[in-house]
Amino acid sequence: MPGQPTPKSTAKEYTSSLLIAVGLALFIRTTVVQAFYIPSGSMEDTLLVGDYLLANKFVYGAPVDIPMADYTLFRLPGLHDPQPGDIVIFRSPTDPDRDLIKRCVAVGGQKLQVIDKVLYVDGKPSPNPPQSKHTDSETYPATVQPRDNFGPFTVPPGHFFMMGDNRDNSADSRYFGAVSRELVKGKAMLIYWSWESDTRPPYYTGLASIPALAGTFLWRLPARVRYSRLGQVII
């Protein structure tokens, strides 16, 4: 009948719409915003294990990478570079397949030093972030490890010095050096989901226990969610 869509044209429209939606989602993920998960306690108590957050990739200029390859084609223009105090997601300098999240404490040209756990930037004590912490009363000399005594060190141009808010339990620039601008991926924006790990018994093993395991998971799920953290802006 004239004017009536054929099955072939309908399928073509659906396929076209799907490709456009996928392309748009990939464009947004690549250039605007991306989700990240916090797997370790290096940023406690600002960020907790089990936090899921969104990162703003636009603000620093999103890197356009080749999918499934460790190579950046180019970087889109950004609004500004990371600033001291920003919580930044970046590619690990020692493991290109891994993303890290730390706080920027100094930028190119600034001189920093850690003396007995106190961070100094350009000769002045740097205030600790509100929810940062020290968990180890032991203070180590620089000859043993750089955690508590480091530097003096001048950050090279185009680089950033990153430290975890959990200062005694963070592998950061004190160990792997300043982070190059090319490794920066985005700025932490807000927490959209957060829950505690479920380490309580009973534990189930084997295929026959899958229904019981699923039931236990669903039963405990509401109590594991950290409702007060949902939608929290990261500072």
Question: Annotated active-site positions, please?
Answer: 42, 102
Written as one letter, the residue type at 179 is: V
Rounded Cα distance, 44 and 87, in Å: 12
Written as one letter, the residue type at 135 is: T
Rounded Cα distance, 197 and 217, in Å: 11
| Beta strands 51-56 and 179-180, pairing class | unpaired
End-to-end CA distance of the chain: 62
Residue with the two structure tokens 């040209």: 109
Residue with the two structure tokens 């990153």: 162
